[in-house]
Amino acid sequence: MTMAFSKASCQTLIFALLLLCNLRALEAQTPAPAPGLSYTFYRTTCPNLETIVRQQLQTVFASDIGQAAGLLRLHFHDCFVQGCDASVLLDGSASGPSEKDAPPNLTLRAQAFVIIENLRRLVHNACNRTVSCADITALAARDAVFLSGGPNYSIPLGRRDGLTFATVNVTLANLPPPTANASFILESLSTKGFTPTDVVSLSGGHTIGIGHCGSFSNRIFPSRDPSMDQTFFNNLRLTCPTNTSNNTTVLDIRSPNVFDNKYYVDLMNRQGLFTSDQDLYTDSRTRTIVTNFAVNQTLSYQNFINAMIKMGQLNVLTGTQGEIRANCSRRNSNDLFILPNMERDQDEKVASY
């Protein structure tokens, strides 16, 4: 009897230890700020920066919460291509089409670019030309998460804006397609220093927003992807009747406009929209991480925050690198008559000439 009891308690202990190890592995450390970035970067030069951005976005989202998803995705597309340097915001020029013209960026919301430029104008009116478009984009993504019901967190600031954009081919090579399986995504993101836990955490961004039929038609035409729930499939076929439909549907059917951990619950129910989502639950390397996040929202948030801070520091320009753009869609040197020392309120001055 005593023997049986101690064997059972031993088994319970081993189970508890395994569970603890499992969770420990998911206990991510907040990444240290990259050299040149800091949590207090604008303390003296633009002390009201974060208040200005948050209040403005509160107003924007009050009339259309969908814009939060557009801003979160914009930051991701900025950081993955050439680093978080606001290169995704640049218009094309005589030198060629810009990142904006590359296929993955054609579904970025046009309004997201307008919101960023409006934020820039407000911020520069208050603080002159001290804050980069890259930092404004990073702050907008951070606030998109919080104002949609997600966690509140601080991010390191001090990014500078890039002078060039990537080619269409480089853009394509750095943004994995939604048809990719977990192996492809894990391999592709590991080249940027992301662990499998980071990959699952970042994919949690799909808890808000929408996707076009073309992004998941591979899973519903000519027939149902076997890893997709039958009722979910039936409904998607109503939204996308043919394989050329251009309608949209939500990424997270349980709470499409709320930043929460329901995306992971969707995956466990085979209701992930893209191959790149659902395969995180099929693949044995990421399945347990998905399950842990589905049952523990706090854990999913901690890991999301850390992965976002890591993503937000990819190849940043700092110090005297790059510039602080006076208009987020153009590099300053396009304005040939602006001298380098005219950093104050440049666009307003130009307008009054």
Pick from 80, 107, 306, 338: nearest CA to 211: 107
Applying CB under 6 A, among 133, 136, 166, 210 the residue interacting with ligand HEM is 210
Distance, in Å, from the CA atom of 290 to the CA atom of 286, rounded to the nearest integer, reads 6
Minimum Å distance from CB 130 to ligand HEM? 27
Minimum Å distance from CB 317 to ligand HEM? 21
Task: Establish if 195 lies at the interface with ligand HEM (CB under 6 A).
Answer: no
Nearest CB to ligand HEM, comparing residues 72 and 253 = 72
Distance, in Å, from the CA atom of 258 to the CA atom of 256, rounded to the nearest integer, reads 6
| 99 labelled binding-site residue | yes
Question: Which tokens in the block code for residue 131?
Answer: 């804050």
Task: For residue 266, give every residue at least 6 positions away whose Cβ sits within 8 Å of its Cβ, in sequence order, or none.
Answer: 252, 253, 254, 272, 277
For the question of residue 75 being annotated catalytic, the response is: no
* Sequence letter at residue 85: D
Minimum Å distance from CB 237 to ligand HEM? 17
Task: Establish if 159 lies at the interface with ligand HEM (CB under 6 A).
Answer: no
Residue span 264-293 as binding mask against ligand HEM, x where in contact by CB under 6 A, dash where not: ----------x-x-----------------
Site for ligand HEM in 234-253 (CB under 6 A): 251
Applying CB under 6 A, among 33, 42, 53, 73 the residue interacting with ligand HEM is 73
Contact 253, 207 (CB under 8 A): no
Question: Which tokens in the block code for residue 201?
Answer: 């955490």
Nearest CB to ligand HEM, comparing residues 73 and 129 = 73
The three-state secondary structure class of 248 is strand
Applying CB under 6 A, among 185, 236, 240, 309 the residue interacting with ligand HEM is 185
* Helix residue ranges, H only, the chain: 2-26, 49-63, 66-80, 110-127, 133-147, 168-174, 182-190, 196-203, 217-220, 230-239, 262-268, 275-282, 284-295, 297-311, 346-352
| 87 labelled binding-site residue | yes
Question: Which tokens in the block code for residue 195?
Answer: 């662990």
Task: Establish if 215 lies at the interface with ligand HEM (CB under 6 A).
Answer: yes
Contact 169, 79 (CB under 8 A): no
Nearest CB to ligand HEM, comparing residues 73 and 270 = 73
Task: Establish if 107 lies at the interface with ligand HEM (CB under 6 A).
Answer: yes
| 176 labelled binding-site residue | yes
Question: Which tokens in the block code for residue 300?
Answer: 């999913």
* Nearest residue to ligand HEM, by Cβ distance, number only: 209
Q: Return the half-sphere exposure (C-beta side, CA atoms, 13 A cut-off) of residue 104.
A: 22
Contact residues: ligand HEM, CB under 6 A: 69-70, 72-73, 76, 107, 109, 176-178, 185, 202-203, 205-206, 208-212, 215, 251, 274, 276
Give catalytic residue positions: 77
- Which residues sit in the known binding site for Ca(2+)? 78, 81, 83, 85, 87, 99, 207, 252, 260
- Which residues sit in the known binding site for heme b? 206
